[in-house]
């Protein structure tokens, strides 16, 4: 299933770049070629117009999706997300809260860090946990070991749930920052409404 999704994403990227190439050709024709191609002008005008409008509409949709995908999102919606969607949401949320250069690590073998970002010249690693119960020590341990593996300045565990007392105690001792449900809700105030 995941391989099919990756193939589909690769196909969509290629399709987008072909559309962009067609858009550039349409612009070149519109600005420079119309005077030289009189016999085909009517058909080429239509093709150029369709290519330009399609490219503009696709880009408008992509921009809207990127910037307003999680608009007016409530915690109940976050609770219903799948793991990968929750990670994408966390990337968007962190960006809205001042983190730059955000990147996700590979899904398997991520060494305990799902997202790496920079804020105030510090590299921070995030372990994202969408849970229905309490998050325990394992997430804190993974974030801490991921911090060492990626040579990060800080490690954080971000969840839509709560942490066990043992996890809080371990996080304090290891210097891992915990972002629980109330703190997540505060971060969500920066989402567009």
- Got the DSSP string for 21-35? HHHHHHHHIIIIITT
- Select the more confidently predicted residue: 143 or 67: 143
Query: Residue 110 has what pLDDT?
Result: 63
- Select the more confidently predicted residue: 83 or 14: 14
Q: Determine phi and psi for 46, rounding to 5 degrees.
A: -65, -45
- C-alpha angle with apex 106: 62 to 104, nearest 5 degrees? 50
Confidence of residue 53 (pLDDT cuts 50, 70, 90): very high
- Least confident among 16-20, 38-42, 111-115: 38-42
Q: Can you give the pTM of this predicted structure?
A: 0.70
Residue 178 has pLDDT above 60, yes or no: yes
Does residue 48 contact residue 26 with C-beta atoms inside 8 Å?
yes
Q: What is the mean pLDDT of the chain?
A: 88
What is the distance between the alpha carbons of residues 18 and 4, in angstroms, rounded to a whole number?
Answer: 21
What is the distance between the alpha carbons of residues 156 and 112, in angstroms, rounded to a whole number?
Answer: 10
Q: Determine phi and psi for 40, rounding to 5 degrees.
A: -105, 10
Joined together, the tokens standing for residue 191 give 């989402």
Confidence of residue 136 (pLDDT cuts 50, 70, 90): very high
Query: Residue 166 has what pLDDT?
Result: 94
- Select the more confidently predicted residue: 182 or 36: 182
Joined together, the tokens standing for residue 19 give 């559309």
Q: By 3-state DSSP, what share of the chain in percent is helix, strand and coil, each rounded to 5?
A: 60, 15, 25
């Amino acid at each position: 299933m995941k391989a099919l999704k990756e193939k589909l994403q690769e196909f969509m990227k290629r399709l987008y770049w072909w559309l962009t190439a067609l858009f550039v050709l349409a612009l070149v024709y519109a600005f420079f070629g119309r005077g030289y191609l009189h016999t085909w002008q009517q058909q080429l005008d239509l093709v150029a117009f369709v290519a330009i409008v399609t490219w503009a509409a696709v880009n408008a949709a992509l921009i809207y999706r990127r910037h307003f995908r999680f608009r007016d999102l409530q915690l109940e919606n976050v609770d219903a997300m799948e793991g990968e969607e929750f990670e994408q949401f966390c990337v968007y949320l962190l960006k809205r809260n001042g983190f730059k250069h955000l990147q996700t690590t590979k899904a398997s073998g991520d060494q305990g860090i799902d997202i790496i970002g920079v804020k105030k010249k510090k590299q921070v690693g995030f372990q994202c946990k969408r849970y229905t119960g309490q998050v325990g020590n394992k997430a804190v341990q993974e974030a801490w070991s991921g911090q060492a593996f990626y040579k990060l300045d800080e490690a954080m565990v971000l969840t839509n749930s709560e942490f066990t007392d043992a996890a809080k105690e371990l996080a304090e001792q290891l210097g891992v920052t915990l972002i629980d449900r109330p703190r997540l809700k505060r971060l969500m105030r920066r989402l567009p409404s």
